[in-house]
Amino acid sequence: MVELADAFTLLHPAIAVVFVLPLIGLITNLAWQTRRRRIEIAVGGKSKIPPVGLEHQRLGRWLTGTVVGLSLIGLSHDPVTSILSDRLWNKQPFQVIFYVLLFLATITSLVFLYQAKTRIWRGIFATLTGMGLVVLGCHPAVFRRTDEWYVSHYYIGIAAAMLMIFSLAILPDIYKDRSNRWRLIHAVLNSIAVLLFIGQGLTGVRDLLETPLSWQTRYVEQLYQQNCKEKNCTIKATPASPQMAPATEMRSER
């Protein structure tokens, strides 16, 4: 039976597979159709490709919300686990309250970003949403892989979320700008976002593979403590994990 902690760990990748990846595929296909239609109209004045701009816009708005929500779930995993396991609400209640309020404020800013009409308010709420993600990501419990930031699931994810927030903020300007400057910016940034999402898929699979199940955690901690990567060692079950009693030890060899 899957432990609650393990189910929480699987929530982030499950949402990515079920919702985010199909949305990215649909939006990319619609963007390509829109591009082809514009080229055909510019060349011959007519196109057999039906207009899909409104559908592209609607799915893009859904993608931004899903990506930011997915980022919030990912950023909350390690802090929430730390709060529950260490009972931080008794030791550091102010820190827990601040974290919860910041989490809620980030969600609220995103909601207001969807509702904002003027450019100034869209800029304000987009900034607040992005700042919320960054500050939440600064929590000491969040695994960032800073020494390898270029292949870090955290940094790539934050960058992709920022591009999605920016794309949502400039969406009304794309349709008002007759010079197509905002449309070009949108196309370039979202092409970069597609590459970032591919990176997210690769690094996410790697990090999930490296994440032990709850019953494996104490063994993995011993592997690191005894530096089993460099030498042979034997890992024994600890009294703190009685469910592990049938498997009294496991051997690690180089």
pLDDT at 110 over 60: yes
Percent of the chain clearing pLDDT 90 (strictly above): 50
Q: In this structure, are residues 245 and 239 in contact, taking their beta carbons and an 8 Å threshold?
A: no
* Residue 5: predicted pLDDT: 77
Phi and psi, residue 188, nearest 5°? -65, -50
Note the maximum CA span of the chain: 77
Q: What is the mean pLDDT of the chain?
A: 86
Q: Which of 177, 187, 170, 180 is nearest to 116 (CA)?
A: 170
* Residue 238: predicted pLDDT: 63
Q: Which of 113, 122, 82, 85 is nearest to 99 (CA)?
A: 82
pLDDT at 251 over 60: no
* Residue 45: predicted pLDDT: 76
Residue 252: other Cβ atoms inside 10 A = 15
For range 200-218, the mean pLDDT: 86
* Residue 21: predicted pLDDT: 92
Q: Which residue would you say has higher pLDDT here, 9 or 240?
A: 9
* Residue 245: predicted pLDDT: 39
Region of poorest pLDDT, from 77-81, 103-107, 243-247: 243-247
For range 125-133, the mean pLDDT: 96
What is the identity of the amino acid at 104? L
* Residue 206: predicted pLDDT: 92
For range 151-160, the mean pLDDT: 95
For range 159-178, the mean pLDDT: 90
Distance CA 185, CA 182 (A): 5
pLDDT at 254 over 80: no
